[in-house]
Amino acid sequence: MALSSITRYKLRKVLKYTLVTVAVAWVLTLFSGDAVRGWLGAWALLGLWTGVLEEFLFGRRYRSLAVPLQFLGKALAVNALTIALVALAFAFDREQNLPLRSEGAFTPSEMLAMSQFYRLILRVAVVTSVAILIVQVEELIGRRLFLGIVLGRYERPLAEQRIVLSMDLVGSTALAERMGDLRYFRFLNTTYSLMTDALLRNEAEIHKYVGDEVIFTWPMEVGLSQGNCLDLYFDITERIAAHAEELQQEFGAVPQFRGALHGGRVIVAQIGHIKRAVDFNGDVMNSVSRMLGVCKDLKEDLVVSAEMYARFTASRERFRFGAERTMPVKGRKREVRVHSVERVAKA
């Protein structure tokens, strides 16, 4: 049975913790002078344990806190449970051969008097904390930007075939005026958090937030696979509808989004020096921005470009496409050809 996108995401995150923990421990072990190979298996288990705890136990509990408090809370909780697990092992077996000294077994009381034990605990705490910090920074700035900076991938512009979906909040100005700045920000943040499950399910990446607009992207093959790029919009709207009562009670409004989808050749490059970002440029990005205005004029929820419509041959059983419409766009010499989209069946 094929794994769902959400399950694959969780497994990738656990694997990420395992690899990062092993890498950090390997560097630390090199400086300590200990045998590297003898420790790597144990560090891999520690990384696996850390990933399972962070993703399946602590992940959502700290999301409402500031980023430094998230890191501190996760590091303290993981290290406390790791030390407790070691203590539990001694509770069931009072003579252990742990990697604290080369010969002989020792009792728990002897272990507590050994300086090697405290060095081991300190090393575990340092390795775990650094691994959590690295993964948290990677999630904060995005995998593409993080890897791009580390590997220098986007130092020079690259041309990629990508699909871009831009979703814009309907009536955002009136909502902001009615709610006030702080409440409106919480409204947006809550709405964006509701998109997470749909985002993972359809294997999308968030390119950027532009105020009340969200830009999603896929490599061309991933976006076309099983209609991911189309399903994302409708999965998000269904997710919001499922929480409409809660949103109405807390904010007095339920968000509605219009969307525009286009794809093709995109130039991807790292820009900036003091603050770096990976940005997209090209006709696709310009067209998507203008298509949002066309979507508003046509009073449709979602429109796709005629170029992308031609690629959706495998998805037409689940989606109903409207007739092609040609619309003039201000500031652009050639017109934009679009189709409206409705979903008639889920995958």
The pLDDT > 70 percentage for the chain reads 82
pLDDT of 301 > 90? The answer is yes
pLDDT band at residue 5 under the 50/70/90 scheme: low
Choosing from 141, 170, 196, the residue where a domain stops is 141
Q: Within 10 A of 311 (CB to CB), how many other CB atoms are there?
A: 17
Q: Are residues 160 and 309 in the same domain?
A: yes
Q: Are residues 131 and 265 in the same domain?
A: no
Q: Are residues 194 and 243 in the same domain?
A: yes
Residue among 194, 239, 233, 197 at smallest CA distance from 215: 233
User: Which domain CATH number covers 217?
Assistant: 3.30.70.1230
Q: Is residue 148 part of a domain?
A: no
pLDDT band at residue 58 under the 50/70/90 scheme: confident
Q: 203-257: per-residue pLDDT in tens?
A: 898 988 888 899 999 999 999 988 999 999 999 999 999 999 999 999 999 999 9
Which amino acid appears at position 248 of this protein? Q
Q: Are residues 74 and 215 in the same domain?
A: no
- What is the predicted pLDDT for the residue at 244? 94
Choosing from 83, 108, 141, the residue where a domain stops is 141
Residue 133 · residue 71 · CB < 8 Å? yes
- Which of 52-61, 226-235, 265-274 is predicted most confidently? 226-235
- Which of 104-108, 128-132, 226-230 is predicted most confidently? 226-230
pLDDT of 1 > 60? The answer is no
pLDDT band at residue 340 under the 50/70/90 scheme: very high
pLDDT of 140 > 80? The answer is no
- What is the predicted pLDDT for the residue at 126? 87
Q: Are residues 11 and 36 in the same domain?
A: yes
d(CA 131, CA 208): 25
Region 119-136: mean pLDDT is 85
Residue among 174, 343, 324 at smallest CA distance from 252: 174
Q: Is residue 229 part of a domain?
A: yes
d(CA 347, CA 25): 43
Q: Are residues 134 and 275 in the same domain?
A: no
Q: Is residue 306 part of a domain?
A: yes
Q: Are residues 244 and 268 in the same domain?
A: yes
Instruction: Give the strand pairing for 205-210 and 319-321.
Output: unpaired
- What is the predicted pLDDT for the residue at 335? 78
Residue with the bigger pLDDT between 297 and 273: it is 297
Which residue segment(s) compose the domain that 250 sits in?
Answer: 154-343
Q: Are residues 61 and 117 in the same domain?
A: yes
Beta bridge partners, 96, equal 106
CA distances from 22 to 25, 26, 79, 118 (A): 5, 6, 16, 20
Q: Is residue 167 part of a domain?
A: yes
Q: Is residue 169 part of a domain?
A: yes
Q: Are residues 127 and 224 in the same domain?
A: no
Q: Within 10 A of 139 (CB to CB), how many other CB atoms are there?
A: 13
Q: Are residues 211 and 266 in the same domain?
A: yes
Q: Are residues 259 and 165 in the same domain?
A: yes
Domain total of the chain: 2
Q: At 184, is the secondary structure helix, strand, or coil? A: helix
Region 252-263: mean pLDDT is 94
Residue 296 · residue 258 · CB < 8 Å? yes
Q: Are residues 180 and 251 in the same domain?
A: yes
- Which of 102-106, 112-116, 191-195, 268-272 is predicted most confidently? 191-195
- Which of 35-49, 114-128, 237-251, 272-286 is predicted most confidently? 237-251
Q: Is residue 33 part of a domain?
A: yes
pLDDT band at residue 66 under the 50/70/90 scheme: low
Q: Is residue 147 part of a domain?
A: no
Residues in the chain: 347
Residue 255 · residue 131 · CB < 8 Å? no
pLDDT band at residue 167 under the 50/70/90 scheme: very high
Q: Is residue 149 part of a domain?
A: no
- What is the predicted pLDDT for the residue at 55? 78
Query: Which DSSP state fits 160?
Result: E
pLDDT of 98 > 70? The answer is no
Choosing from 141, 170, 203, the residue where a domain stops is 141
